[in-house]
Structure 1
Amino acid sequence: MNRVTQRRRITTFRSTADPRRREDALAGEEPLEIRLGGSAFTVTMRTPGDDFDLVAGFLVSEGVVWEPGQLPSLRYCAGVDESGRQTFNVVEAQLRPGTVLPDTALERHVYTSSSCGICGTASIDAVRKSSRFDLRADTAGVDLEVLLGLPDRLRESQKLFDRTGGVHAAGLFTAGGELLCLREDVGRHNAVDKVVGWALREGRLPLAGTILQVSGRASFELVQKAQLAGIPILAAVSAPSSLAADLADDAGMTLVGFSRGSSLNCYSHPERIRAGSAADTGTGAGAAVDTGPADRSVPAAG
């Protein structure tokens, strides 16, 4: 199986010492080809590991599947590198007979980089995909202190980041702060797809009442992926984009950014966050959170 990390000899330069040669661990990045029914569907760059979760989550994000019965099997296809070793870089997904691919999925180009989850979408009109789950009907609430503690909870579990310093993370939490699933990858969208794919394969969709905490910024694509998985609250340690905030507002999702330390900024549907007396009593959906002027200090690593 491909290694999640690779060792490399590097040279470290310091202003106070002579250059030093040493070994460093780098996060693995390799292509993964996804095939549907024997035909190439897309190629994405990812960190090897949890590949079946990645494929399953990617298909949820494309609107192809939304329940585990639609994806009866996943398997690696034969493939070897120049040394004759199995690469595990091609996954064949078998869909339930009769599954119809959305036009947006059929129009997808063949290649997706690790930094973009919608780069292969053929048109702007195809970017917004309809979710089968109604987030506005999800009355989940979360105490402010729980929400503020999630970035640290996520960081504590980032084992691959500890070794390489070069991956993003996505963690799925309950409203009480219990970690359900954490995945890391060189691609932000891949980390989220791996979490969503885990949930699909575990029969947990829609992910009502949960919180998706991500280690970087909240982009449009991450909001869309969370929406398609039925996640009502998305929190990030850095900023959201304007389009991400617009989509979250339209979808009925609570979108949080700059969540760190003792403050956060809520960009849509703050009624799910219980602060002050609402959190103390545990009553109602919570009060709107006003954290003052937007905090744009440098986000934590990861």
Structure 2
Amino acid sequence: MAHEELPILELRNLCKTYELKGHRTVDALKAVHLELYPGECLGIVGESGSGKSTLARCVTHLERVTSGQIRYRQQDITRLNGKALRQQRKQIQMVFQEPSAIFNPRMKIGAFIREPLINYKIMKGQQAEQEVLRLLGRVGLSAATADKYPHELSGGERQRAVIARAIGVQPDIILFDEATSALDVSIQQQILDLLVELRKDTGISSIFISHDLAVVQQVSDRIAVMYQGEVVEVVESSQLTSLANHPYTRSLMASVLSVREMKHRVQAQKQEAEQEQEQEKVGVLQESLSG
């Protein structure tokens, strides 16, 4: 798909090398080049160790790149620090796999969501209190949630609260790093539906990172496939099955099909067993009536 707009985020030849003991090194990112366009959801998929989470940490400046450029709205933000970095982090938010890691266990959910509104001087006082309630409702949580502590919420509810905090500062971009991986399937689907809905309503650009190709395909416009620190292929999500060429992408697709086939087979066996049990009950009932 051709894009008439300029990218809101561009990664140019991004490299990240870790130094190990014994003068050894590991190249976690190898000349990665990607663009994210306004309003787009770019999916990044790859196995553990592919570099996808390292990429997210570099984009959000949780780690420094070894070389290359990170450009936001055509400005080089690769080496930002101090006040400039703090302001930049408002524009590029991140939602992690395990939300518990970022909660203060002694801080109520309302205060957790309100904190960045105050810190970034977006609003204060009663206005901030009302905004917290609005944000809670926006992510499907009740107003009563504001007075609860993190341990009183389920995993899905905690992730919704983190998303509420992220969208509250009105960022341009949100990165979701395995944001649904720790949730059970039904809750995972609810969060995915929420992300799709929020994107339609807010127009926020997003990068959705996961090892699960089926999940990535569900929410993304384009999919970047990472393997051993490199982006080996970028494909339109809707054309993945017809245009994917790289062997690793094909292997991911095959594994998704295998899992789906297994789920269908298990479901069919379950239905067959239930039908047999029902038939046995009918047979026993008929025998008792005839006796």
- The alignment's TM-score, normalised by the length of structure 1, stands at 0.25
- Where is the strand percentage greater, Structure 1 or Structure 2? 1
The structure whose Rg is larger is: 2
- Where is the helix percentage greater, Structure 1 or Structure 2? 2
Say which structure, 1 or 2, has more relative contact order (CA 8 Å, 6+ apart). 2
